[in-house]
Structure 1
Amino acid sequence: MRYLLPVLAGRLVRAVARLRGGGSAYPGRTVLALAPDFLTHVSSQFEQGVVFVLGSNGKSTTTMMLTETLRAHGLRVFTNPTGANLPQGIASAFLREVTPLGRVKHDIGVIEVDEAFAVELTRSLHPSTVLMLNVQVDQLYRFFETERVGTMMTDTAALATRAVVTNRDDQHLAPYEARPGQTVTRFGAAPDVVAAAPNGLQNANDFSREADSTRPVEAEVVAMDGDRASIRVGETTVDVRLPARGLHYAVDAAAALQTASVVLGRPVDQEAVARAFDTMKPAYGRGERMSLGADEAEFIMFKNAASLQLNLDALPQGAEQVMLAIDEGTPDISWIYDIDFSRLDHVDVLAGAKAWQLALRLEHEGIPVHVIEEDIAKAIKLMRALPSPLDRTKHFVTNYEQMMLARRILGHPDLEKTA
């Protein structure tokens, strides 16, 4: 009974927040203020433990892939689908699932976690498995250096009670060695697959050690084409349809399939994997498609240099219609001068508060920009007014904040409001 009042109070705050247009963290803050041990109470009920998903990029997509793969194998999985990966956001996600007395009916939790809070959250959620995706240049105004991010992840991995799954192709994460009671397995992409990518995997260099691609991997991307990938998992090769284009999504899939094998204690079933991936929709803003009259808007969200580069590399060559949008949600965009924009032969509309900075960068690259319109609503109207492209797809390449605004303008509520 001690969780009844906190759960009801959190749900009341959630209802009010939804009426006012969002605010998914407020319910979690409320329940944690009233019941500080709420996360421990709920997570301790998962018979097959808790999986943490960590990484500079790809957490939301990989969490979705792993969740759907485990569900296809018959497990009842709790996850935080909005990508709210701070303690209060995770608590809010639990509020949607628990009974008024704080009980859950899931077998396992698969939880995306912010690296800066991961060690702290191990004290409440006690992860049995930690999956480490990558260390890439991200939020230097917050983390200062990539080495610090890598240490956050490996410190968290050291606290896993059963297993760690890590990235063979990441210099910061690949050397991780098992602690007592742990197993360590790895995923990656075949060297020839990486070499075929215009700008590689974009993982951050660790200049204190030499790269070592000889470590064995239990799951490896062996071939890919657009949104199709072949992934060797153990002794079996699985063909999957990815939720969006790009090598980074294929590597995320390899990570998810290896982690699923670890959780299940056996190789994944090919038919179950095919079912899971064939019905999988893109994660929030990561290749989502929305109606734009007779055409479709494809949203391609980036957070940092690595995600922008990988998504640009995956764009169709000579994409007919493209909007780029970036605003103050990305505080320092000096990294745009490291981006290879050669995939683009033009940009139809630049939007957001930092559109002019991006325009200067594209001018240096010799890429023509047709219109600059800082207001995202007006920019979308301009994109709507363009003639239908041959492939009926208008590409919206945006940072997170501009993506959320654009989704709302097009009539798509936040995930928190649809849950």
Structure 2
Amino acid sequence: MKYVIPVLAGRMVRALARLRGGGSAYPGRTVLALAPDFLTHVSSQFERGVVFVLGSNGKSTTTMMLTETLRAHGLSVFTNPTGANLPQGIASAFLREVTPMGDVRHDIGVIEVDEAFAVELTRSLKPSTVLMLNVQVDQLYRFFETERVGTMMTDTAALASTAVVTNRDDQHLGPYEAREGQSVTRFGAAADIVAASPNGLQNANDFTRRADGTLEAQTEVVAVNGDGASIRVGETTVDIRLPARGLHYAVDAAAAIETASVVLGGRIDPVAVARAFDGMKPAYGRGERMSLGADEAEFIMFKNAASLQMNLDALPQDVEQVMLAIDEGTPDISWIYDIDFSHLDHVDVLAGAKAWQLALRLEHDGIPVHVIEEDISKAIRLMRALPSPSDHTKHFVTNYEQMMLARRILGHPDLEKSA
């Protein structure tokens, strides 16, 4: 009975928030204020424990991939699908699943976690497995230096009770060594695959640098072709369809498959893996497609230099129509001078509060911009008014905040509201 009032109060707040158009954190704040041990109570009920997914880029996509892979193997999985990865957001996600008594009926929890809160959340969620994806130059106004983010992740991994899965090719994460009672396995991309990528795996001067050439990856990307990839898992190779184009999505897939293998005790079914990926839709705004009448809008969301670079590299050759949009949700965009924009021969529309800064950067490379329109609503109208491209796809490359606004303008509610 202890959790009945907190759960019902949280659900009431959630219903009110949805009526007002969103606000996924408020229900979680409510339940945690009334029952501070709520997260510990619900997470302790998972028979197969809790998996944390950490990383500068790819958390939401990899969480989805891992969740669907485990479901394809017959497990019932709880996850936080909206990307709400702070304590209150995770609590809100649990509110959708628990009974009024605070009980859950899932086998395992797969939870995307913000790195800054990860150590704190280990005290309540007690992860059995921690997956570390990558460390990028990201949100320096929050973290001040990249190495600090890597330390947050490895400190969290040290608290995992059973297993750590880490990125062989990340110099911050690859060298992680198991603590007492832990196993450590790694994922990565084959050297020839990284070398064939225009800008490797990271946006830095040493694009192809690896943590340690002697480290073995138990699961490895061995081929990528558009939205298709071949992933070696031990001695077996699995061919999968990715939810979106690009090497970065293939590496996310390798991370998810290796973590699923760890959770399942090495008993991965290649047929189940391929089936899971065949039915997978892009994560929220990550290659997501929406109708524009006779055409489609493809939303490609970026957070930082690395994600923008990898997404630009994965665009189709001779892309016909593209809008770039960035606003104050990305406070410091000085990193745009490290980006290789050579894949673009023009930009149709620049949008967002920082459109003029981006215009200056593109002018530096001699890339023509047809229209600059800071207002995202007007920018979308300009894109819709363009003639239909031959592939009937208009590409919207945006930061997170502009993506959210654009989705609403096109009539697509927030994931929390539509759940």
TM class by shorter chain equals over 0.9
TM-score relative to the length of structure 1: 0.98
Match of 1:18 in 2: 18
- The verdict on how the C-alpha distance between 1:221 and 1:144 changes in structure 2, with shifts beyond 3 A counting, is same
Give the share of equivalent positions with the same residue, in percent.
88
Q: CA shift at 1:317, angstroms?
A: 1.4
Aligned to 2:351: 351
| 8 Å contact from structure 1 (residues 136, 204) kept in 2 | no
Residue 196 of structure 1 deviates from its aligned partner by 0.3
Q: Is the 8 A contact 1:170 1:203 kept in 2?
A: no
Counterpart Cα distance in 2 of 1:105 and 1:329: 37
What does residue 94 of structure 1 align with?
Answer: 94
1:268 Cα deviation after fit: 1.3
Aligned-pair RMSD on alpha carbons? 1.1
Partner of 1:269: 269
| Partner SS for 2:336 | helix
Q: 2:77·2:110 contact (CA, 8 Å) conserved in 1?
A: yes
Q: 1:320-339 maps to which residues of 2 (within 5 A)?
A: 320-339=320-339
Match in the other structure for 1:123: 123
**CA 1:276–1:158: 2 relative to 1, 3 Å:** same
- Alpha-carbon distance change, 114 to 203 in structure 1, aligned in 2, over 3 angstroms: farther
Aligned partner of 2:378 in structure 1 is 378
Query: What is the aligned length?
Result: 417
| Aligned residue in 1 for 2:5 | 5
Contact 1:52 1:130 in 2 (8 A): yes
The AA in structure 1 aligned to 2:55 is G
Counterpart residue number, 1:201: 201
The corresponding residue for 2:53 is 53
CA distance in 1, matches of 2:70, 2:204: 30
Aligned to 2:186: 186
Q: Partner amino acid for 1:267?
A: R
Alignment pair present for 1:416 and 2:416: yes
Cross-structure match for 1:396: 396
Point out where structure 2 has 5 or more consecutive residues left out of the alignment: none
1:232-381 → structure 2 map (5 Å cutoff): 232-381=232-381
The alignment partner of 2:301 has SS state of: strand
Find the residue that maps to 1:131 and give its secondary structure.
strand
Partner of 1:387: 387
Q: What does the per-residue CA deviation read over 1:94-150, in whole Å, with 9 as the maximum and x for residues that have no partner? A: 000000110001000000000000000000000000000000110011111110000
Aligned partner of 1:199: which letter? N
Distance in 2, matches of 1:191 and 1:210, equals: 9
Aligned: 1:114 with 2:114? yes
Deviations 1:142-196 (A, max 9, x none): 1111100000000000000000000000000001000011000000000000000
Answer whether contact 2:3 2:101 (CA < 8 A) is retained: yes
Render the CA deviation track for 1:28-56: whole Å, top value 9, x for unaligned: 00000000000000000000000000000
The answer to whether the 8 Å contact 1:171/1:205 transfers is: no
Q: Quick check: 1:171–1:204 contact (8 Å CA) kept in 2?
A: no
Partners of 2:35 and 2:235 in 1: CA distance: 47
Which ranges in structure 1 are unaligned for 5 or more consecutive residues? Answer: none
- Does the aligned pair in 1 maintain the 2:170–2:210 contact within 8 Å? no
| Counterparts of 1:344 and 1:192, CA distance in 2 | 25
Matched to 1:212, the amino acid is D
Contact 2:175–2:211, Cα closer than 8 Å, also in 1: no
- Rounded to whole Å, the distance in 1 between the matches of 2:245 and 2:139 is 24
Match of 1:66 in 2: 66
Aligned to 1:148: 148
Q: Is the 8 A contact 1:52 1:110 kept in 2?
A: yes
| CA positional deviation for 1:205 | 8.4
Question: CA–CA distance in 2 between the matches of 1:149 and 1:229?
Answer: 29
**Cα offset for 1:214?**
1.9
Residue equivalent to 1:159? 159
* CA displacement at 1:267 relative to structure 2: 3.4
Matched-pair contact (CA < 8 Å) for 1:185–1:217 = yes
Are the aligned partners of 1:221 and 1:231 in contact in 2 as well (CA < 8 Å)? yes
Please identify runs of 4+ aligned residues in structure 1 that moved more than 3 A.
203-206
Cα deviation for residue 391 of structure 1 reads: 0.4
Shift of 1:318: 1.4
TM-score by length of 2: 0.98
Q: What is the alpha-carbon distance in structure 2 between the residues aligned to residue 74 and residue 167 of structure 1?
A: 26
CA contact (8 A) 1:50 1:109 kept: yes
Contact 1:170 1:204 in 2 (8 A): no
Q: Is contact 2:347-2:367 (8 Å) kept?
A: yes
The question of whether the paired residues in 1 share the 8 Å contact of 2:130 and 2:163 is answered with yes
Query: In structure 2, what is the Cα distance between the partners aligned to 1:284 and 1:182?
Result: 33
Q: Secondary structure at the match of 2:359?
A: helix
What is the letter of the counterpart of residue 327 of structure 1? D
Verify the 8 A CA contact 1:28 1:88 in the aligned structure 2.
yes
- Residue of structure 2 equivalent to 1:30: 30
